[in-house]
Chain A
Amino acid sequence: DSGVTQTPKHLITATGQRVTLRCSPRSGDLSVYWYQQSLDQGLQFLIHYYNGEERAKGNILERFSAQQFPDLHSELNLSSLELGDSALYFCASSPSIDSYNSPLHFGNGTRLTVT
């Protein structure tokens, strides 16, 4: 068990809808990363937060947004959903502000299916 909790585990919704994915990092970890994993692609980095502030953005669509709250949990909001947004969404956490000397610990993901 990595200590990173993601909810819900599964989500089925229709095109055009909006969903929120939630992540609770490991105790003591201040960094939260979001990744998207599709069948034909590897792990695509979306966004990184550290202690409530956005640190880096990757291939995140404008329809997607995220935030990290004072209690350090994070939410990823996906809106105007399209079929191509169907994927596994992973949250990972680490204790440090950057990647150096600090491997990521992943949750078990949220499987999003857009119909």
Chain B
Amino acid sequence: QQQVKQSPQSLIVQKGGISIINCAYENTAFDYFPWYQQFPGKGPALLIAIRPDVSEKKEGRFTISFNKSAKQFSLHIMDSQPGDSATYFCAAIGNQFYFGTGTSLTVIP
């Protein structure tokens, strides 16, 4: 079964808006939660990551919010730009990597 559930499948946001992508997991053994960004024709690239002992991590316009009790985490992209248009994957790491199914983000100028 899908170890990490990701939503939405696709997202369209106006330039300057906030993009929010959500992920949920079940296995409490996961202890590292990275987000990957993938542009067409390229491999996924590590964007930002968080550990469950922290509720929020911010790097520039990208923020991960983590809710350990709810077993949910989300990626917020502030001031979204057309260059942010890409597919985003959340992941959870335990004894293996488990990826979400991806969110295709389109930022409209």
Binding site for B on A (CB under 8 A): 2, 4, 33, 41-43, 45, 48, 56, 58, 90, 92, 98-101, 103-109
Q: Could you say which residues of chain A place their CB within 8 Å of the CB of B100?
A: 42
A43 vs B36: C-alpha distance when bound (angstroms):
11
Q: 1/0 per residue B88-106: CB within 8 Å of A? A: 0100011111111110000
Q: Could you say which residues of chain A place their CB within 8 Å of the CB of B32?
A: 99-101, 103
A72 vs B101: C-alpha distance when bound (angstroms):
29
In the complex, are the beta carbons of B44 and A42 less than 8 A apart?
no
In the complex, are the beta carbons of B45 and A58 less than 8 A apart?
no
In the complex, are the beta carbons of A108 and B43 less than 8 A apart?
yes
Q: How many A-B residue pairs have CB under 8 A?
A: 54
A92 vs B91: C-alpha distance when bound (angstroms):
14
Cβ of B52 < 8 Å from any Cβ of A?
Answer: no
In the complex, are the beta carbons of B43 and A42 less than 8 A apart?
no
Chain A: CB-nearest residue to B97:
A99
In the complex, are the beta carbons of A43 and B95 less than 8 A apart?
no
Q: Which of B43, B49, B89, B95 contacts A4 (CB 8 A)?
A: B43
Chain B nearest Cβ from A59, distance in angstroms: 12
A/B interface sample: 19 pairs, CB < 8 A: A4-B43, A42-B99, A45-B97, A45-B99, A90-B44, A92-B43, A99-B32, A100-B31, A100-B93, A101-B32, A103-B34, A104-B97, A105-B46, A106-B36, A106-B43, A107-B43, A108-B42, A108-B43, A109-B43
Q: Which of B28-66 contact A (CB under 8 A)?
A: 31-32, 34, 36, 41-46, 49
